[in-house]
Amino acid sequence: MSRPLDGVTVVTLEHAIAAPFCTRQLADLGARVIKIERPGTGDFARAYDDRVRGMASHFVWANRSKESLALDLKHPLASDVLDRLLGKADVLVQNLAPGAADRLGLSFDALRERHPRLIVCNISGYGEDGPYRDKKAYDLLIQSESGFLSVTGTGDEPVKAGCSIADIAAGMYAYTGIMAAIIQRGRTGLGSSIDISMLESMVEWMGFPLYYAFDGAPPPARTGASHATIYPYGPFSAGDGVAVMLGLQNEREWEAFCKTVLQRPELATDERFSSNTRRSANREALRRLILDAFSPLTASQVVQRLEEAQIANARVNDMRAIWQHPQLEARRRWVQVDTPQGPIPALLPPGRNPAYAPKMEAVPDLGEHTEAILRELGYAPDAIDALCREGTA
C-alpha cells in the first residue's frame, strides 16, 4: 500500500531529539529521510548511553527508517554534495547551533533561488529573532524557561518531566508545520520557511496554568502526581501498599464515588466537599477519608469498586509493565525493527489507519548509506574514494 509521504525526500541536519523526532514522524509516513552526520562521531545522541544492546536509547527511538550520510559540512567539498542533495529534496530540516545553518549558506533566503520548491524548517530554542535568538537551549532549560518547572513537582521542589517534553513539543510542531507546508506547496508550487521555537512550543502547552494565573491570579500549586485544581485526582494507596490512580471530573461521579467506592454516601452532601473548588481546598481532609476507606482493601478491590462506579482509574505502571502492557499487546502495537546490533521491538506510530502501513525500517549505522547516496548523486567511484580520503565523507 502507498503511504502519504511516499516520494517525499527530507534532508536533515539534526542532532539530539527535537529534529530527529520530527523527521522520524515523516519517515513513518513514507518519506525518505537522509540524515547527515559528522564522520567518525555522528549525531551526539548516539553516545548518550548504551542501554539498547550497546546503542543509545534516545537514538534508536528517534532514528528508525532513516539513511545515514556521513558528511563534514565544514569541508570545502561538502557544499557540492549538499547542493546536489537539496536539488532532489522536498524538505530541509535543521536544529544546528544558533546561526550555524546561515553560516553554511543554508538559510531559506540563500536556497530559495536555486531550490524554489524546497521547504526549510529551522528548529531552535528561542526562534530566529528576538533577544534570545543566539542563546543555546536544551530540553531541561526550556522546561525551566517556559514555566513548566514552576507548576510541576511538589511544594518543596520543582521536578522536571521524565521524558524530553520540550524536544517532543518542538518536534511535533515542526512535523505538523512541514505537513502544512507540503499541502501549501501543492497549491502554490513554492516552498516556504518554518521557524520552530522550543520555547513557544512549550508555552503553548502551558495554556491551562497560564490562564489559571491570568491577570495576576495565583498560579496552580505544585501538587506532585495529583491534579493541581481538580480533586480527588491522583494516586491513592490501598491497604496492600499499591497505588491506584483515579480521577473525578464532575458531581455525578463524586456522588457515585462516595456511594460505591468509599461507601460513605453522606459525604456527597458534606459542605466541605460539595463542589470541586471546596474539595480541592479541603484536599487534606478528604485525602485522609479516602485512605481510611481504602486501607482494608487491596488495590484490585479498589479498582473493582471504581469500575463499578464508572470512575476513571489507572495503574501506576513502571517501564517493565509498559513493555508487557496487555492493551498494547492486544492491539498488536509492537513490531520488530532492525538495528546494527540486531532486531529490537518498536511501537507502531499512534494513529492506526488501515489505508496504509507505517514505514518501520532499520535504525542506521553511522554513514551506512554514504556510498550509495553519493553514487545516486552522480559521483564516480574514484570521486567517492577522494571524498573519503579528504575526510569529507
Q: Taking residues 295-305, what's their average pLDDT?
A: 96
Q: Which CATH class is domain 9-206+332-389?
A: alpha beta
Site of grid cell 500500500? 1
* Tens-place pLDDT, residues 13-45: 999 999 999 999 999 999 999 999 999 999 999
d(CA 63, CA 205): 25
In Å, what is the CA distance from 237 to each residue of 134, 292, 321?
47, 10, 18
**Looking at residue 166, what is its pLDDT?**
97
**Looking at residue 225, what is its pLDDT?**
87
Would you say residue 223 has pLDDT above 90?
no
Do 9-206+332-389 and 233-316 come out as alike in CATH topology? no
Nearest Cα neighbor of 64 from 373, 375, 358, 374 is: 358
- Domain edges within the chain: 9-206+332-389, 233-316
**Looking at residue 224, what is its pLDDT?**
87
d(CA 322, CA 352): 19
Nearest Cα neighbor of 228 from 155, 140, 143, 141 is: 155
Dihedral sign computed on CA atoms, order 280, 283, 286, 287: positive
Query: In the predicted model, what is the mean pLDDT of the chain?
Result: 95
233-316 has which CATH code?
Answer: 3.30.1540.10
**Looking at residue 1, what is its pLDDT?**
83
Q: Taking residues 349-357, what's their average pLDDT?
A: 95
* Tens-place pLDDT, residues 117-172: 999 999 999 999 999 999 989 999 999 999 999 999 988 899 999 999 999 999 99
Cβ neighbours of residue 127 closer than 8 Å, sequence gap 6 or more: 133, 195, 197, 199, 200
pTM: 0.92
Would you say residue 198 has pLDDT above 90?
yes
Q: Specify the length of the chain in residues.
A: 393
